[in-house]
Amino acid sequence: MDADERYMWLALDLAAQGQGTTSPNPMVGAVLVKDGETVGTGYHQKAGGPHAEIIALEEAGEAARGATLYVTLEPCSHTGKTPPCVDRIIAAGVRKVVVAMQDPNELVNGLGLKKLQEAGIKVKSGVLEEKALRLNEVFVKYITSRRPFVTMKAAMTMDGKIATRTKASRWISGERSREFGHRLRHHTDAIMVGIGTLLADNPSLTTRLPEGGKNPLRIVVDSKANTPLDSKVVAENPEKTLIFVTDLADQERISALQAKGVGVEVLPADPEGRVPLDLLMDNLGKHEISSVLVEGGSVLNYSLLASGLVDKVYFFMAPLIFGGDTAPTPVGGTGVATVEEAWHVKDIEISHYDTDLLITGYIAYKK
């Protein structure tokens, strides 16, 4: 590992500290190095707050003059909620800038690097680029498509069941696995379930970690507005709940939910009378929801996959066997007719959480 990679790893580690707090902005880390010594570090801590480069420059002070700046994302060259970072970098007298990846935001995308070069600053791009892209996979998806990055999570038995034939499901996964799931909630903008899961389990859909954690926006896909008024997502912090219904839903039920303080979005029903998931994702993107964690049942999971909307999966497998022809599986619906039609999962990672296995991967849709 050369010096550039070593310092970029440090910048990436710093960037990761902003996970769950920077949305819809990216996670960014910065390290200033002069004469082989680190003179300033920083990471973007929250949307609207100072960028990583600015924090590192302020820590370095005059030591930034003649230094090399390592930053995980191309410095911004436009004015948003904060002034352009490139202007501060130039003014500080930085000698060289090393970046992991260009900013896919069309307002930046190469313009920041160009402005630095025009000011006489040496620029090197692409150091640990794949690592930086993976770290900011949510931001890249959101900023290029204006739709959230969608992660599907499920816990199943060794024979692929998410509940028994009587719909009993607590608890399939172990305590450490469940804590990991709550950490995913903490890092995500929104958590989504279908009306079937809501009626069966009445979940709170909150984050419960030893240190607390951030509660995501709760989204319910409920075509007919059948969400009970006494359900936990309505009775507890209704302002953190958004229910998507169709124009076929009863207006009185919609009004009753709204009277409880719940947000309700009405979308035109698809040909089967269901909430159109494409339009739902467009709607979330307009509201700057950059990531969604799906903890739904087999119907919603299948519908999202069939619509090409799932980006990543976390499948826990517990050392249990339920059996049962009618016991539900993580993905239901009509399924595929042939093996060739199956959704392939790529970039697989397998890890252990006590006796549970966690399989992580990305859906590879056929083009």
**With contact defined as beta carbons under 8 Å apart, do 226 and 217 qualify?**
no
Rounded to whole angstroms, the Cα distance separating 50 from 18 reads: 12
Rounded to whole angstroms, the Cα distance separating 183 from 188 reads: 9
Rounded to whole angstroms, the Cα distance separating 306 from 351 reads: 27
- Residue where the block lists tokens 């969400």: 227
**With contact defined as beta carbons under 8 Å apart, do 361 and 313 qualify?**
yes
53 is catalytic: yes
Residues at the binding site for substrate are 185, 205, 208, 295
- Residue where the block lists tokens 């993107």: 285
Around Cβ 109, how many Cβ atoms within 10 Å? 15
Rounded to whole angstroms, the Cα distance separating 128 from 29 reads: 13
Around Cβ 211, how many Cβ atoms within 10 Å? 5
Catalytically annotated residue among 53, 74, 252, 341: 53
Residues at the binding site are 51, 76, 85, 155, 169, 171, 185, 197, 201, 205, 208, 223, 295, 297-303
3-state helix, strand, coil split of the chain in percent (to 5) is 30, 25, 45
Interhelix angle 3-16/52-60, nearest 10 degrees: 110
CA dihedral 195, 197, 199, 204 (to 10 degrees): -100
Nearest to 218 by CA among 196, 201, 234: 234
- Residue where the block lists tokens 């959101």: 142
Residues at the binding site for Zn(2+) are 51, 76, 85
Nearest to 71 by CA among 100, 50, 110: 100
Residues at the binding site for NADP(+) are 155, 169, 171, 197, 201, 223, 297-303
Kindly list the catalytic residues. Answer: 53
